[in-house]
Amino acid sequence: MLHFEPAFINRHFMSLEHQTIALLLDDLYNDVEVWYPYYRLKEAGVNVFIAGKDKVTYSSKYGYPAAADISLKNIKPSDIDGVIIPGGFCPDKLRTYPEVLKLVRAVDKKGGLVASICHGAWVVISAGLAKNRSMTCYSGIKDDVKNAGALYEDKPVVVFDNLVTSRKPADLPDFMTAILRFLSKKS
């Protein structure tokens, strides 16, 4: 079994202080798909914040609260390096907000990170960013991904340029490793 010393992790991922990531949120988010990336990015020195539409606090599928740091309408794509779209059922709400779709498109256009896990692929689809790109997602929405013109792959993580996608909570280690690698290359 490989064991990585903190020095290895620090040397490879801890130089990301100038990176800023918006974690998009609404009610019924998947707890672990928000908090695992949130704290892993914080550990790596990334400025990560939670962005929501109108409410100050959102409830997870299990009732755990998450306070929004900023309203979606106050985010300028030029001020962030990427977005993360967690799963649960919040993506079904997020994809109906024009400001979310506009933000995700703008981040993608500038080559910033667009990362989704589980049902988060719905936002990528609704933003019109799936066509001709390799992606993965929760198995229950793979037909949605395919019908949007994406090349579906059943893998823990799929990286296509600046798009990073994963299937489920068990894939979070691979998802976060791919995100941190992407951000490190942009440093």
List, by residue number, the catalytic residues. 118-119
Distances (CA, A) of 126 to 5, 11, 32, 91: 41, 37, 24, 10
For residues 24 and 119, give the distance between their C-alpha atoms in angstroms, rounded to a whole number.
13
Per DSSP, helices labelled H in 44-161 are: 90-94, 98-109, 121-126, 142-147
Per DSSP, helices labelled H in 45-156 are: 90-94, 98-109, 121-126, 142-147
Query: What single-letter amino acid sits at 104?
Result: V
Query: What single-letter amino acid sits at 48?
Result: V
Residue 84 CB-density burial (10 A; 0-12 exposed, 13-18 middle, 19+ buried): buried
Q: Are 27 and 94 in contact (CB under 8 A)?
A: no
